[in-house]
Structure 1
């Protein structure tokens, strides 16, 4: 009777198990992979018919790379003794739920392997030069917390995240549909790069004290909490001003002004950081920063779709 009880996990236990694996991907960060693909495709629509297979492949590969990057983060922070049961903002699979570190790294490498296979399909339908760019994106994801000098421990985390998860993903998504890179695709990718970097900056503002203790040299630590919040606000302001600059200079459709609807989230994020020092208190502000990127990117894409159809 007792052995029967052990072999049949309760629905609660299995649903909890499912949640552990889902949290390991850090779902709130996955939109940082989704938005640039959508935006690059919306930009391409102005010049060509959309190849749905390539769109789906690019979307899945980007999500796999982002989830794997989060798992590398979980693994290496655990290995370096940075994570414990009280750590805020982590998946917690290793330190809270007893999943072995080896399983986490194997899963991350497995997702990279799948992304690589999808990348081959993308290259077969566009150009093999993309293989080099795709591998550079994957390497950046790994080196963010892996390797002898992790990018996450330096002041360059925001820059790398913005470049690879913002600009590069948008331009690849655009290129695989059109076969070229346009000036407008580069210009539209800039505010998204700033907002992807803002997610990292918000993360580092939240973790500032713990990171300082562990010898990290993030941008938030170098600037100090107050200046880092100013920089975050600056990233938001420049992103909005940039889009309106494109509209005023007639480089983009007035429909792109829809991004202004995401401004309240940006305000919420800044207000949520001011005067806070406890990581848990700053979680809503960090979430609002990620949501600003998501909503801004979606509205930008909708604006592009409307400018094409109307």
Structure 2
């Protein structure tokens, strides 16, 4: 039987900072533009947005495990264990877990939509469809080199701007800039993952962006994404308060993984890069959100 520890590993907890970070950043922007005391902020909406984000991330992870597993893509892995590929869990069980996670995200999203704007239901449906067809269906877009684009859009722009909107019900430019910063680091996590898997993905016919770009250019892409995240900090500071420049301290956490990537780390040596990049994204969100919360 599949143990709770196996299910936890299958949920890929190292990727969860990518779900927490956009909600933190979006909440920070909302607090700043709203200008109300922190106690007056609709924190329950921020918590529901966090539930949506975390549930979608877990759902994506299980969905990828299922789809890659039944295709045989995970048969010879370099990275952490996969439930279906390793035979630890049945494909049907993992598929059920994925849709259960999407269901949790859907329930929380419906509450937000009912108290904010019903068109958010459509946004949520698009998010779930994008999550499933990343590696699911007959022509998954993750196999066509479009995974990074979707991560940038949904775990960057949509997640940050959406969080700010449900709290303020207004469009805010700083939320867009924050979405760019968060989206860039979320993409960097995927780029590092796909860089590690270039050899096995090539054999499996999985044409990720890393496979298309090749090893060297993929490494430069990773470094470029880190620089974009730094530029986003400056843009937010210019639009809000210069205290946000404290967010540039995230570069101290991002230096080590960037050096590893540019230094030619391969295979298992890239696994710590994933965790370090996720930590960099979380640090970015905290260091940007706190000044916005305080100054707001």
TM-score interval for Structure 1 and Structure 2 normalised by the shorter chain: over 0.9
1:277 is displaced (CA, Å) by 5.8
Matches within 5 A, 1:20-169: 20-46=6-32, 47=34, 49-84=40-75, 87-96=77-86, 98-169=88-159
| Structure 1 equivalent of residue 241 of structure 2 | 253
| Structure 2 equivalent of residue 212 of structure 1 | 202
| Structure 2 equivalent of residue 11 of structure 1 | none
| Structure 2 equivalent of residue 307 of structure 1 | 295
Seen in structure 2, the aligned counterparts of structure 1 residues 182 and 233 have a Cα distance that, compared at 3 Å, is: same
Q: Distance in 2 between matches of 1:42 and 1:198?
A: 22
Q: Distance in 2 between matches of 1:119 and 1:238?
A: 30
Q: Distance in 1 between matches of 2:252 and 2:198?
A: 25
Is 1:197 aligned with 2:187?
Answer: yes
Aligned residues of 1:26 and 1:91 also touching (Cα < 8 A):
no
Q: Distance in 2 between matches of 1:252 and 1:89?
A: 40
Q: Distance in 2 between matches of 1:191 and 1:25?
A: 24
| Structure 2 equivalent of residue 221 of structure 1 | 211
Residue-pair matches, total: 291
Q: Which digits, 9 at most, give the CA deviation of each residue in 1:248-291, with x for residues without a partner? A: xx312121111222112222112212454641121122222222
| Structure 2 equivalent of residue 297 of structure 1 | 285
Aligned residues of 2:184 and 2:225 also touching (Cα < 8 A):
yes
Q: Which digits, 9 at most, give the CA deviation of each residue in 1:123-180, with x for residues without a partner? A: 1111101000111111111111111111211221111101001110111111111111
Measured on the aligned residues, the alpha-carbon RMSD in Å equals 1.8
Ranges in structure 2 where 5+ consecutive residues have no aligned partner: none
Aligned residues of 1:255 and 1:306 also touching (Cα < 8 A):
no
Q: Distance in 1 between matches of 2:90 and 2:290?
A: 42
TM-score with structure 2 setting the length: 0.92
TM-score with structure 1 setting the length: 0.88
Q: Distance in 1 between matches of 2:143 and 2:278?
A: 21
Seen in structure 2, the aligned counterparts of structure 1 residues 219 and 286 have a Cα distance that, compared at 3 Å, is: same
Aligned residues of 2:11 and 2:62 also touching (Cα < 8 A):
yes
Q: 268-277 vs 164-173, which deviates more?
A: 268-277
Seen in structure 2, the aligned counterparts of structure 1 residues 129 and 251 have a Cα distance that, compared at 3 Å, is: same
Q: Distance in 2 between matches of 1:65 and 1:39?
A: 17
Q: Which structure would you say has the larger RCO, counting Cα contacts within 8 Å and 6 or more residues apart?
A: 2
Q: Report which of the two structures shows the higher radius of gyration computed on alpha carbons.
A: 1
1:241 is displaced (CA, Å) by 2.4
Q: Distance in 2 between matches of 1:72 and 1:90?
A: 16
